[in-house]
Amino acid sequence: MLSLVLPAQPATAASADTACSQKTDAVAGYNRGTLDSVDEVDCLLLPFPAGAVIVAPEDRMWVTGSWVPSFDIVDSTGTKICGASDNRYGTCRLSGTAPHYAKAYTASGSVPPGSSYGLFLQRVDGPADGTGSCPVLPAGDFTAATPATRFSTADGTFARCATIPASGHSAKELVQIQKVTGTKDSVARFWVVEDTGRQVCDMPDQRNIWAACGLVAGRSYRVIAAGDGAPGEFDLVRRDVTATAKGCEPTPATSVGAPAATGTLPAPGVPVCRQVTTADARDVLYLNERDGFNAASHAAFGPGGGLSCNTTDEDCGVTGATRYQVVVTPAWNSVHAGAPYRLDAQRIAGASGPAPECARPANISYGYGPVTGVLDEQHTAVCAGLETYQRDRYDAVVKDTEREGRGAVLSLYDRSVDRCTDRSTEIDCYLGDPVDGVAKPTVMVLGLQEWTTRTAYSAELVCTVEVCGADPISFRSVDPAFAASGTKARVVLAGTALRAEHKLRIEHPSGARVESTTVSVDAGRTALVADLDLTGAPAGVWTLSAVNDLALDGKVTPLGTFTVTKPGTAGLGRFRPMAPTRLMNTMAGVGVPKAKVAGGKTVTLQVTGTSGIPVKGVTAVVMNVTAVAPTAAGYVSVFPAGTTRPATSNLNFKAGQTIPNLVVVPVSADGKVTFYNHSGAVDLLADVSGYYFSDQYASTDPGTTYQPLGPVRLMNTMAGLGAPKAKVAGGKTVTLQVTGTSGIPASGVTAVVMNVTAVAPTAAGYVSVFPAGTARPATSNLNFAAGQTIPNLVVVPVSADGKVSFYNHSGAVDLLADVAGYFTTDGLGSAFRPTAPTRVMDATAGAGRTVTLQLAGTSGIPANGVTAVVMNVTAVAPTATGYVSVFPDGAPRPSTSNLNFTAGTTVPNLVVVPVVNGKVSFYNHSGSTRLLVDVAGYYVS
């Protein structure tokens, strides 16, 4: 080995103006002296020019007893320039007035007689050529035969100098001092100083360890090594740790959990290198050195030598390169040379996120896990990709389920930064202060601990703030938002970051309150299933809220209303009105082929999944069906597609007549309705005005129930009732206030059922009925000829202020509007049950006569609970012009009509009539007429 010997150099003349007990010319190298009294100050004239940068470590073992001298560097005036710290670490620049001195004195107050001291002086700035006092420190590598420079600290020699030449180093090198022989007191340290005098790295008071030194191309460096004077031998070594490092064993990164790379621990303090490679610089690698004794540490360096993973005996992460030099170094006092070690180098994430083998939990709002399993040398780690957030904080709970202790180590990597801190009793994982509130996708890794080759683990992250992850706590809607009184209603709360402790609360105006019981929460925490016990709950509209009892303020979030219906209204018959919308037009090919429907033929219309009608859950549809220009007298029957055509009719017409009728018809399982034309050929229009649906498919809009009325006349333009006393001119509109009149509530009404009659129009035309204040639809409700008086039942939504508009297309016409009921959100109404069209009456009524029909308990209609019935009523071949009124049996006959006809015509109209005692009465005003009654459904409470 090369031994460094530093020759003495001649001194310059001493300055006479420095206050010193004695002055001595110092040399570059070792300088000796004694202090014989408390007040003695020795001044050593430095052999260096002003501006030079020097190192001046003292020999701590040269002194006698416990006395330690102090050394200051001063200028010619005695002004202190540098103290002991600057002297030792090569950062003392000779400023002030030359010449300069090193002052040796005692600061302890007592000096043993003849106490000696030693000081090593060396200039460190300026080019270093590796000759003279500072020989070259040769470049080393990670092989067993790497060159080294040896020096000893015996016989008063305690410091040495070596050179790293400008042309002979990489960008990052490990500089190391290793003890070869010596007592336990034999220790050494070193400093690396740039030729400008700037210190670049050091290793103070350490045994057998290295420092990572960044070296600038084209610059030379001096390495100053100093011991404490005790006898010993030490080796100085430097090793390249950039991508050009030699002696690194190739080690491709593996998938998560793959077996580790293995090796053998070298002598204490001697590093070994593995070059870990991956395909993409955006990969994140998990590094974990394990030797069973905690005997070694590891560090990772990028291609340019950048320290990607600090020297550690724990796992760490790296990213940003495709190769890393991973240095494994046994501790200076390790006794495990020759023992095996393992290095886990696993790809935990890539450019697209966490590795494919990482689990992807649906939600981490309140933590993750517990997860369980077994880790061993064939399955060394597991991982999970977590959508964390910047302010998240977790407690990590890890244990071995078969024996005491953890057995596994948990880390939470934000890219390559482990956000967990082990506090001995717990693991705290913190994602950082919420500066910009951004999502921070992380990878949780569970790997084997240092001393474990197998563990049956249980691991869990427990959120310790109100909510973790990217989702805030939110409550959005409840489905269904209604249920029948006396039931245990199962509802679903939609939101984000939901947990079992969240509750729903409904409150009645009377003060009654019901809170939910949680049944389950889905894995994504977006749906909470809960039960509301509505035993004894009064029907009506309740306020609906979500309650977060875990919030510091017990936060309550309003969610609108919840409707408690009467017990009999749950099931198939809640109604959603729609703005009139044309679904079918055979003249234009809308909904069906463009062609008249021939006699004896059918056409089928897809109703559900179109024009805002849901795909699922629809049980029946309300449509205004119009026959246009039939080529012969006949009728049309409307019925669910795929079922047997009923022996009933919905429209009856004569040749050339255009006539509408409202139809309530069930839809088939696939949401279709069929239209059958009996004879001739006819064009058909179908305009939807609403649909009935099943509770199973209720949305946040719970729909409405029906309240039958009267019938009651709301409008008569011939008498000025509800509208000005005047015919409605062509192209004009008249608006009727519906809510707040004639027993109709002022609020909660969504739609109204009215029999609308056109009286004595001056020209052929039509009338459209629609919510006031909305765009007039391209649909019609009544079609008529000049002079014809004709009715039609209308179901129409009301405007926000409870109004309905009537538009007359041409000529002038008087209008009558007789309300038969309304749809309400108050939960107190009746639900609809559609039935297959069934003929329940074929009878003749004479002039001024009434025919009564028993409905309750017949034709599938229940004997009890029926509040109203939906029927298609047809007057066949009346002998005189007149009308028919349909009303509840036992009630006074109203001054309204449901069918208006002329002698010899056949006229149908849909009728919704209240049922009081299970019967309905039909009054014929004049002449004699045959009445056909086909039931289409009923309302039940």
Of residues 904, 714, 729, the one with CA closest to residue 803: 714
Per-residue pLDDT tens over the stretch 25-68: 999 888 888 888 777 889 999 999 999 888 888 876 554 445 56
> Which range is most confident: 255-259, 627-631, 739-743, 896-900?
255-259
Residue 314 above 60 pLDDT?
yes
**Region 369-397: what's the mean pLDDT?**
95
pLDDT for the residue numbered 424: 67
Helices vs strands, H then E, count in the chain: 1, 72
**Residue 582, strand partner residues:** 687
Per-residue pLDDT tens over the stretch 579-610: 889 999 999 999 999 999 999 999 999 999 99
- Band (pLDDT 50/70/90 cuts) for residue 205 is low
Per-residue pLDDT tens over the stretch 69-83: 788 999 999 899 998
Give the Å distances, CA to CA, from 340 to 275, 326, 343.
18, 16, 10
Q: Kind of pairing, strands 540-548 and 503-507?
A: antiparallel
**Region 438-453: what's the mean pLDDT?**
90
- Band (pLDDT 50/70/90 cuts) for residue 12 is very low
User: Which H helix or E strand runs over 204?
Assistant: strand 199-206
pLDDT for the residue numbered 831: 84
pTM, 2 dp: 0.68
- Band (pLDDT 50/70/90 cuts) for residue 11 is very low
What order of strands is seen across the sheet that includes strand 92-93?
29-35, 115-123, 53-55, 92-93
Q: Kind of pairing, strands 482-484 and 555-565?
A: parallel
d(CA 661, CA 607): 18
DSSP character string of 589-606: TBSS-SSPEETTEEEEEE
Contacts of residue 155, Cβ cutoff 8 Å, sequence gap at least 6: none
**Region 331-338: what's the mean pLDDT?**
86
Give percent of the chain with pLDDT exceeding 70: 92
Give the Å distances, CA to CA, from 350 to 23, 52, 130, 584.
68, 51, 46, 55
Torsion on CA atoms 397, 400, 404, 407, rounded to nearest 10 = -90
3-state SS, 708-740, equals: EEEEEEEEECCCCECCCCCCEECCEEEEEECCC
pLDDT for the residue numbered 2: 29
pLDDT for the residue numbered 207: 62
pLDDT for the residue numbered 559: 95
Beta carbons of 849 and 924 less than 8 angstroms apart: yes
DSSP character string of 237-267: EEEE-STT-SSPEEEE-B-TTPPPEEEE--S
1-5, 591-595, 723-727: least confidently modelled range: 1-5
pLDDT for the residue numbered 122: 86
pLDDT for the residue numbered 580: 87
478-487, 580-589, 744-753: least confidently modelled range: 478-487
pLDDT for the residue numbered 822: 94
Average pLDDT score over the chain:
88
d(CA 452, CA 445): 16
B/e letters for 728-745, b = 16+ CB within 10 Å, e = fewer, are bebeeebbbbbbeeeebe
pLDDT greater at residue 490 or residue 446? 446
Residue 19 above 60 pLDDT?
yes
Beta carbons of 646 and 837 less than 8 angstroms apart: yes
Residue 175 above 90 pLDDT?
yes
**Region 205-218: what's the mean pLDDT?**
83
d(CA 613, CA 591): 14
- Band (pLDDT 50/70/90 cuts) for residue 17 is very low
- Biggest CA–CA distance in the chain, Å, is 150
Residue type at 361 in one-letter notation: P
Residue type at 2 in one-letter notation: L
- Band (pLDDT 50/70/90 cuts) for residue 567 is confident
pLDDT for the residue numbered 435: 58
Within 698-811, strands assigned E span 705-716, 728-729, 732-737, 749-759, 765-771, 782-784, 790-797, 803-808
> Which range is most confident: 306-315, 371-380, 651-660, 665-674?
371-380
pLDDT greater at residue 246 or residue 899? 246
Per-residue pLDDT tens over the stretch 639-681: 999 999 988 888 888 999 889 999 999 999 999 999 999 999 9
Give percent of the chain with pLDDT exceeding 90: 60
